[in-house]
Amino acid sequence: MSMRSLVVRAGSVILLTLGLSLRAQAGVVVVDPGGGSGSAALQAALTAAADGDVVLVRAGSYLLPADQRFVVAGKGLTLATDAVAPPMLPGLEVSGVPSGSSFFVRGFTLGPVTWKAENAIVSVPTVLAHDNSGAVWIEDCAITGRLGSFLVLFGFQTLVDGSPAVSLADCAGVTLQRCSLTGGKGIYSSNQVGFDTFSTSGGAGLTVNGSSASLHDCTLLGGAQGDGFYNEFLPNGGGAGAVVQLESTVLFAGCSVTGGPNGVQPDFADGTVESPGNGLTVSSDTTAVLTRDSAFAGGTLMPPGIPGVPISAPAGSVVTLAAPARSFTVTSPLKEGAAGALTVNGEPGDLAMLLVSAGAGWSEIPSRQGVLVLATDPLLLFTLGATDGRGNFSLGFTMPSLPAGTLGATIPMQLLVSSAGDGTLEAASALTWLDSSL
């Protein structure tokens, strides 16, 4: 038997072993508008899907009115796509995922659009996850915050800042893998003398409030402040790369976090000076931020202005962990019989191991310098092998058949590395496994 066939067999055995624990009732809802408008069909699919189902989105247009976004409430499911180009969704709200359930989304572009000012006089994030007892998992998505807006309300100017790309509130465990998050840009002043509107601030790449979150291999950038005349009575500036607030725990591993630039002022401005955004702002000493192999920087300064800082945080709230971050991904989605690969990018000589489960979770494990983002029942461990002299490892496999009665399932996996006797929890990736008929 050749080495190639041994490798393929090893990967298939991992999936077959886990397949024994999958729920037989998991279904798949396909949304295929044939390249046309699929907005109504997608929301209908998200509403009708049962907990644990897969919603498979094919190429098409998924635009919504400016005051709407796609909503998933009260259940876990998988939102996946097999389109060649990532479909664009204007926004997504996920709430009420119950304990023991998982919500997965992978491979989409989200935003930017302008939130209709008549319906919201505050910035509305492109992706909002709130009040989730179960796990939320966002992978391989490019997310941009909504643009700032302006209206006159009861004769007064109402100015809306650019929105966060992602906001998390009261979530038990959120995982972001290989995502780019860019805060929305503030509105420009429509009259450079400032009589019509003022410019507004950029939004944060990420805001976290009362939540636990783990980010791996993500790029976060605060939104730019709008150019032009500023209101000296309102604080303005570039958005922070990330803002972490009350009673939250966040891990940044292998991430780049940068504030947004301040705007350009006209020569006749009143002397008000605005700042670029900070890389990371921690606004409460009840939070804990862990960083591994991540870079933080203030936004680009547009003179005149006050420079932003890489990290603004209460003493002791940010802890830097020593281990370098490793990357991991698995091909997804895949049908029965299709070829895929597990890929590791780490340090030379790492012993790569794979944790596999039927669901996602979130448990900080300080002894492993990371977060376990998998459910613990079942939790399977497989040894993959050693990385090469450049720190790389790849394992090919062929998708086996799903258990009888199952049309699709999503399997989250996480890399565990042993190096110089120390084991560390690393990045994760989820594989959506589909019936060959789809």
How do the pLDDT tens digits run along the chain, 438 residues long?
333 333 344 455 565 555 545 544 578 999 999 888 899 999 999 999 999 999 999 999 999 887 788 999 999 999 999 999 999 999 999 999 999 999 999 999 998 766 554 445 567 899 999 999 999 999 999 999 988 877 656 666 677 889 999 999 999 999 999 999 999 998 877 655 555 667 888 999 999 999 999 999 999 999 998 887 766 666 678 999 999 998 999 999 999 999 999 887 765 455 566 789 999 999 888 889 999 999 999 999 887 778 889 999 999 999 999 999 999 999 999 999 999 999 999 999 999 999 999 899 999 999 999 999 999 888 888 889 999 999 999 998 888 888 878 899 899 999 999 988 789 999 999 999 999 999
CA gap 125, 109 in Å, rounded: 14
Domain enclosing residue 376, as ranges: 327-434
In a shared domain, residues 270 and 305: yes
State pTM to two decimals.
0.92
Place of tokens 């979770």: 361
In a shared domain, residues 317 and 372: no
- Number of domains, the chain: 2
Cβ burial, residue 325 (10 Å; 0-12/13-18/19+): buried
In a shared domain, residues 208 and 266: yes
Tell me if residue 47 falls in helix, strand or coil. Answer: helix
In a shared domain, residues 287 and 342: no
Q: Dihedral sign, CA of 212, 218, 221, 223? A: negative
In a shared domain, residues 172 and 296: yes
Residue 89 has, within 13 A of its CA and on its CB side, a CA count of 27
In a shared domain, residues 146 and 186: yes
In a shared domain, residues 428 and 290: no
Structure tokens at 24: 């037989």
Structure tokens at 319: 């802890």
Structure tokens at 422: 């120390």
> Does residue 252 contact residue 213 with C-beta atoms inside 8 Å?
no
CA gap 237, 316 in Å, rounded: 26
The β-bridge relationship of strands 149-153 and 109-110 is unpaired
Tell me if residue 28 falls in helix, strand or coil. Answer: strand
Nearest to residue 278, comparing CAs of 238, 328, 333, 331?
238
